[in-house]
Amino acid sequence: MNAEALLGCFAAPACIVTQVSAGMIIGMLIFLVASGVTLIFGVLKVVNFAHGSFYMLGAYLALTVYGASGSYTLAVLAAVVGVGLFGTIFERFFMSRVYNADVLMQLLVCYAFILILDDVVKIVWGGDFLKMGMPREFALPPIKVWDGYVPPFYAFLTVFAVAIAVLVGALLRFTQFGKIVRAAAVNRQMVSVLGINTSLVYALIFGLGSMLAGLAGALAAPVRAAVPGMGFEILIECFIVTIIGGMGSMAGAFIAAIGIGLIRSFGSIGFPLASEGVMFAIMAIMLLVRPAGLFGRKAS
Amino acid sequence: MTARMENIIGILLAVAVTAATLAFGGKALLDVLMRLAIFGLLALSLNILVGYTGLVSFGHAMFFGLGSYTFGLLMQSGAVSIPVAALLTLVAALVWGGVVGMFCIRLDDIYFSFLTLAFQMLLYSIIVGFVSLTGGDQGLMGGIPRPPFLGLDLTDPRQLFVVTMAVFVTCVLIIRQIVQSPFGFALRMIRDNAERARFLGLPVQRYKLIAFVLSGLFGSISGILMSLYVSGAYPNFAFWSTSGDVIFMIILGGITVFLGPLIGAAVFLLLNDNITRMTEHHGIVMGVVLLAVVLGLRKGFLDLLDDWWRARAGAVR
Amino acid sequence: MTVRLSIVGLMKRFGGVVASDNVTLDFAPGSLTAVIGPNGAGKTTFFNLITGKLKPDAGQILLDGVDIAGRSQSEIVRRGIGRAFQVASIFPRFTVEEALTAAVLTHRQQTSSMLRRFPLPLALARAREIMALAGLERVASTPSRFLSHGDQKLLDIALALALEPKVLLLDEPTAGMGPEERWQMIERVQTLWREVGMTLVFIEHDMDIVFKIAQTIRVLRYGKVLAEGTPDEIRSNADVIEAYLGTSLEASA
């Protein structure tokens, strides 16, 4: 615990700006992954434990495409489409077979894929840290905010993630597809009796959730080093966020993710060893005080 | 079969295997059996939760790690003898299991899995982060002293083997007794239909917590044996992949038959060792095997046997 | 007249819908009562309120003079109100004998023992008695999930009996059964009632059954008590006739 450093940072606007912007991108990445998990869980009632691995896949795909083409836009698109496709295939051929089995079976199918994907990444990209560096498109001077400087990419990432969240929310709320999805979440049988292909809906939702993970991976590539196993770390954070925010609540996940991001970033100054502990403590307190989470309806 | 007969058969079998190994087996067989005893106990202890209570813990390795680190640190401190250190380790596991369990059992199904996983990662990050105490990434270095006690010298591999087997068979028989007791059947009621059990007046939450703590206690004993066996403790003992491996073991062997997890541990270790020898891409192979078991058989080996058996007789296991 | 279970001014609202509107009813010890009413009359809500699954907004539920309204489900069970469910709620992997023994052990608070072996002889003997009462001996060693629909419902009732209830509530004991099976079931229920001597209240849609076996009938509509009396009185009650003919007898039967 280094209270002096922390207080020192709070006294300096430049430090606050730096830490908040760093915290925001951590939070936004967690949020994108968590929103994918939440979306899939909300409709399909299964938890994709392999979602972190999808995020990892997104990061590596983006790295490769950026390396080959030099275009970050292309890299992001490739990651989103690639991981989306992969997720759809995963859902159709593997996950859909254990919908009616118990949680254990679903967990094991995901676990198998975590093992396989980590190894595949090792074979294709090697086991060392890979860095993309700041994309050319963002090689701009930092933005001055208050007394501090924010890298343009950080600002872009934050705004973009929020925009995507709003977009997905609008898709679910205002479109015909959204109506079907929400109905299927409540009563799959009824929707399927009405002549709607619910298997297709499930595959699309799983694909959409996976695209969010792929996007998060692509956005993470410039600011984080890619390494096999990176998916698991974010998966844990994403679970904590879902528990704090409330199961199935996007808004809850959003707020909790920002909170965790800020704790991580300020924690790295003030309590580097304990920032993980603080995260867990918040989760534990939440479970005691409000088992359903910030915005959750019912815990169990 | 009566309880007494089970105990006699279990003890006789263990004595026979131990004696035969000491008489005819080499160092290699000794090692294989010790690892089987350690991971078999770990898998059996997890199955108290998964198979009997219907709670899928994805964080069981936390007790494995907790047991090995607590025990290892206590021994390295040089202040206590092996039995005292083991006892203190059990107390630590009891406290950790009680506190963590109180949080975890508040949630059902997949959220229970989440939370166990999360707490395990908390322990893992403490182990990795608290370098001055635990040695961080490197693990507990310098070996674990094993001063003689009660005329036993655990630095001798053969004596360590005998002690490991004795602890193993004792634990297995105790677990067997627990799951066959009225308490064990109360856990099965929770697994089958918690709502109905509650309506019959069963204090479901309290029983879940007791099951969680018991499972953790035996898991930590497995951790103690591990730290004696490798003379150290390493962060990956408390890593999620170890939890995943244990779940893999019990699903391989089967969760509905008492000894399923033990058989699963045997199959797993066999597979793991051979795959590691043949290829460095051991994750892919294990992943594919796991998929084949889950999607192909949909059950463990002993589960399948059990189904066939139950088509003729019929009883809950 | 002595009263076993007495409901006084029971109220429950769900948003704008009043599911239980000032319900006041008495049940004598050892009585056999049918609760009927059109769909949505609040029959299952009535049961849920008595058993503590729902908390009443107002009113009293007196069991032998003690108000149990608003207490927890498990306490109400302990005080002697048992219940079987509309959809049989059983332990799929237990055999019938095991399930009943476990239920008896739970009721006797003997499930905390880890040193003895299941089943304890006394509990097993009691479980066998209940099996005999419920006519489940023929399937004693069948895993519950392999039982026929009717036997699953019987087992559900038998599980409730293991708690030695003073009052037993049966929510549509014959739901989902064919005509022949229905009569077997209802005869079984009648025998149980006679042999155990408890107060039995059941919800039923089959009017032939209701009018044949019930001592008294309570009719609910829109959460209110519409009528109560003997089968003959109900048959000639103008409100009941209007309620049923008004909503079509077919739909509610």
pLDDT at C250: 46
Of C72, C109, C114, C153, which to mutate for an interface test with B (greatest number of B Cβ within 10 Å)? C114
pLDDT at B313: 57
* Domain encompassing residue A66: 25-231
- Tokens 């005819």 locate to B24
Its sign, for the CA torsion A38, A39, A45, A48, is negative
In what order do the strands lie in the sheet containing C5-14? Answer: C17-27, C5-14, C58-63, C66-67
Tokens of B76: 């390295």
| Residue B111 at interface with chain A, using a CB cutoff of 8 Å | yes
pLDDT at C63: 92
The answer to whether C210 and C217 have CB atoms below 8 angstroms apart is: yes
pLDDT-derived band at C94 (thresholds 50, 70, 90) equals very high
Portion of chain A with pLDDT greater than 90, in percent: 44
- How far apart CA A77 and CA A65 sit, in angstroms, is 9
Whether residue C126 is contained in a domain is answered as no
pLDDT-derived band at A87 (thresholds 50, 70, 90) equals very high
Are the beta carbons of A283 and B118 separated by less than 8 Å? yes
Of B114, B283, B290, the CB nearest to A243: B114
Higher pLDDT: A173 or B208? It is: B208
Phi, psi of B106 (to 5 degrees): -70, -20
- How far apart CA A41 and CA A228 sit, in angstroms, is 25
Are the beta carbons of A107 and B121 separated by less than 8 Å? no
- How far apart CA C168 and CA C157 sit, in angstroms, is 9
Of A104, A115, A291, the CB nearest to B286: A115
- How far apart CA A112 and CA A109 sit, in angstroms, is 5
pLDDT at A60: 97
The answer to whether A80 and A168 have CB atoms below 8 angstroms apart is: no
pLDDT-derived band at C253 (thresholds 50, 70, 90) equals very low
Q: What is the mean pLDDT of chain C?
A: 88
User: How many Cβ contacts (< 8 angstroms) between chains A and B?
Assistant: 113
Name the residue among B179, B177, B198, B312 with its Cα closest to residue B256.
B179
Of C91, C110, C118, the CB nearest to B196: C91
> Per residue, what are the HEC states of B166-183?
HHHHHHHHHHHHHHHCHH
pLDDT at C1: 57
Task: Give whole-number Cα distances, C231 to A99, A152, C19, C23, C33, in Å.
Answer: 49, 82, 25, 20, 10
Beta bridge partners of C61: C7
The answer to whether A173 and A40 have CB atoms below 8 angstroms apart is: no
- How far apart CA B157 and CA C250 sit, in angstroms, is 81
Residue-wise pLDDT tens digits, B175-189: 999 999 999 999 999
Long-range contacts of B83-89, Cβ-Cβ distance < 8 Å, separation of 24 or more: B83/B149, B83/B150, B86/B221, B86/B224, B89/B220, B89/B223, B89/B224
Are the beta carbons of C98 and B316 separated by less than 8 Å? yes
Whether residue C136 is contained in a domain is answered as no
- b (16+ CB within 10 A) / e for C96-117: bbbbbbbbbbbbbebbebbeee
**In C62-175, which residue ranges form alpha helices assigned H by DSSP?**
73-79, 96-107, 121-134, 149-161
pLDDT-derived band at C246 (thresholds 50, 70, 90) equals low
**In chain A, which residue ranges form alpha helices assigned H by DSSP?**
3-11, 13-44, 51-69, 72-93, 103-125, 152-174, 176-186, 188-193, 198-220, 230-245, 250-270, 275-289
pLDDT-derived band at C85 (thresholds 50, 70, 90) equals confident
Beta bridge partners of C12: C20
The answer to whether C129 and C97 have CB atoms below 8 angstroms apart is: no
| Residue B131 at interface with chain A, using a CB cutoff of 8 Å | no
Task: Give whole-number Cα distances, C183 to A124, A219, C135, C150, C177, in Å.
Answer: 69, 68, 14, 11, 9
C95-C98-C101 Cα angle (round to 5): 150
- b (16+ CB within 10 A) / e for A160-189: bbeebbeebeeebeeeeeeebbebbbeebe
Question: In chain C, how many domains are there?
Answer: 1
Residues 6+ apart with CB under 8 A from B288: A112, A116
pLDDT at C252: 45
* Domain encompassing residue C206: 5-90+147-252
- How far apart CA B266 and CA A181 sit, in angstroms, is 45
- How far apart CA B237 and CA A98 sit, in angstroms, is 29
| Residue C86 at interface with chain B, using a CB cutoff of 8 Å | no
3-state secondary structure of C56: coil
The total of other beta-carbon atoms located within 10 Å of residue B306's CB is 18
Long-range contacts of B94-101, Cβ-Cβ distance < 8 Å, separation of 24 or more: B94/B213, B94/B216, B94/B217, B96/B62, B96/B63, B96/B66, B96/B123, B96/B216, B97/B63, B97/B212, B97/B213, B97/B215, B97/B216, B97/B217, B98/B209, B98/B213, B100/B62, B100/B212, B101/B208, B101/B209, B101/B212, B101/B213, B101/B216
Tell me what ipTM this predicted complex has.
0.86
The answer to whether A171 and A205 have CB atoms below 8 angstroms apart is: no
Name the residue among C135, C47, C136 with its Cα closest to residue C98.
C136
- How far apart CA B112 and CA B100 sit, in angstroms, is 11
- How far apart CA C23 and CA B99 sit, in angstroms, is 46
Q: To which H or E segment does residue C201 belong?
A: strand C199-203
Whether residue A283 is contained in a domain is answered as no
CATH number, domain of C190, equals 3.40.50.300
Single-letter amino acid code for the residue at C235: R
pLDDT at B167: 97
Whether residue A275 is contained in a domain is answered as no
- How far apart CA A182 and CA C246 sit, in angstroms, is 37
Q: To which H or E segment does residue A145 belong?
A: strand A143-145
Report whether pLDDT(A222) > 90.
Answer: yes
The answer to whether A255 and A294 have CB atoms below 8 angstroms apart is: yes
Phi, psi of C28 (to 5 degrees): -75, 155
Conformational region of residue C80, where left means phi above 0, alpha means psi within -120 to 50, and beta covers everything else? left
Whether residue A294 is contained in a domain is answered as no
Whether residue C141 is contained in a domain is answered as no
| Residue C4 at interface with chain B, using a CB cutoff of 8 Å | no
Are the beta carbons of B201 and C117 separated by less than 8 Å? no
- How far apart CA C33 and CA B245 sit, in angstroms, is 57
Q: Note the residue count of chain C.
A: 253
| A149 min Cα distance to partner chain B (Å) | 31
| Residue B129 at interface with chain A, using a CB cutoff of 8 Å | yes
Q: What does pTM read for this prediction?
A: 0.87
| Residue B125 at interface with chain A, using a CB cutoff of 8 Å | yes
The answer to whether B127 and B235 have CB atoms below 8 angstroms apart is: yes
**Between the ranges A87-91, A224-228, B125-129, where is the mean pLDDT highest?**
A87-91
Residue-wise pLDDT tens digits, C224-235: 888 888 888 888
Residue-wise pLDDT tens digits, C97-120: 999 999 999 999 999 999 999 999
Residues 6+ apart with CB under 8 A from C83: B199, C47, C51, C77, C160, C168, C169, C170, C171
Whether residue A156 is contained in a domain is answered as yes
Of B184, B192, B202, the CB nearest to C92: B192
Tokens of C127: 């479980």
Helices (H) and strands (E) in chain C, counts: 10, 10
| Residue C179 at interface with chain B, using a CB cutoff of 8 Å | no
Tokens of A239: 């679970």
Q: To which H or E segment does residue C24 belong?
A: strand C17-27
pLDDT-derived band at A299 (thresholds 50, 70, 90) equals very low
Q: Which residues of C touch B198 (CB under 8 A)?
A: 73-74
Whether residue A73 is contained in a domain is answered as yes
Cα dihedral B228, B234, B239, B241 in deg (nearest 10)? -70
Q: Which residues of B touch A287 (CB under 8 A)?
A: 103, 106-107, 115
Residues 6+ apart with CB under 8 A from B31: none
pLDDT at A274: 73
Q: What stretches in chain B show pLDDT beneath 50?
A: 314-317
Are the beta carbons of A115 and B287 separated by less than 8 Å? yes
pLDDT at A216: 96
Conformational region of residue C59, where left means phi above 0, alpha means psi within -120 to 50, and beta covers everything else? left
Question: In chain A, how many domains are there?
Answer: 1
The answer to whether A45 and A112 have CB atoms below 8 angstroms apart is: no
Are the beta carbons of C95 and B185 separated by less than 8 Å? no
| Residue B103 at interface with chain A, using a CB cutoff of 8 Å | yes
Residues 6+ apart with CB under 8 A from A105: A98, B294, B298
Give the DSSP letter of residue B297: I
